[in-house]
A = this chain, B = another copy of it.
Amino acid sequence: MRPRANLRLPARVRSTPQRRAGLDAIASATGAFTAAEIYDRARATAPKLGLATVYRTIELLRRAGSVRPLAGEGRPAYVRCRPGHHHHLVCVACGSVEETELCAAPPAAELARRYGFAADTHEVDFYGTCRRCA
């Protein structure tokens, strides 16, 4: 559980029952989630919801920075997150995802100096066992 993230649709899009249902399902997700899970959950309130619409809603939120695809091990999944720089602690036991502002990235200046590499972004995900699954 947890104080639910304030999750909103981007400015210029319409508010439809389907989007609200998807949004609510994502807002109440506790950890990593898949599109199918959101689909199942959201259909409780919007029975005729289509899976494609769920994907479209996720994409909407991804562009807004409120959802990220999770790259690592196992099945593809997404995480709800706040915009801005942070990384994820992914529990391989229960799938919960916690955010941390601790950043594993060497400073860009160091990469530039040593490799001539201009880093735009980086992806960092930690995989391990969370407190409750320990």
Cα–Cα distance between A126 and B131 once the two chains are bound (Å)? 29
Query: In the bound complex, do residue A72 and residue B116 qualify as a contact, i.e. CB atoms below 8 Å apart?
Result: no
Within 8 A of B (CB), among A53-105: 71-72, 89, 91-92, 98, 100, 102-105
| Chain B minimum-CB-distance residue to A100 | B115
Chain A: interface residue total (CB-CB under 8 A): 34
Nearest CB of B to A63, in Å? 13
CB-defined contacts of A105 to chain B, threshold 8 Å: 104, 124, 126
User: Known contacts being A71-B71, A89-B111, is A104 close to B118, with CB within 8 Å?
Assistant: no
Q: A102-B106, A105-B124, A120-B129 provided; 10 other pairs, C-beta below 8 A?
A: A71-B123, A98-B117, A100-B115, A104-B106, A117-B130, A118-B130, A119-B126, A120-B128, A121-B127, A122-B126
Cα–Cα distance between A118 and B128 once the two chains are bound (Å)? 5
Query: In the bound complex, do residue B124 and residue A104 qualify as a contact, i.e. CB atoms below 8 Å apart?
Result: yes
With most chain B CB atoms within 10 A of its CB, the pick from A71, A103, A114, A122 is A122
Nearest CB of B to A125, in Å? 5
Q: Mark A17-30, 1 if CB is under 8 A from B, else 0.
A: 00000000000000
Nearest CB of B to A120, in Å? 4
- Contact of A134 with B by CB under 8 A: yes
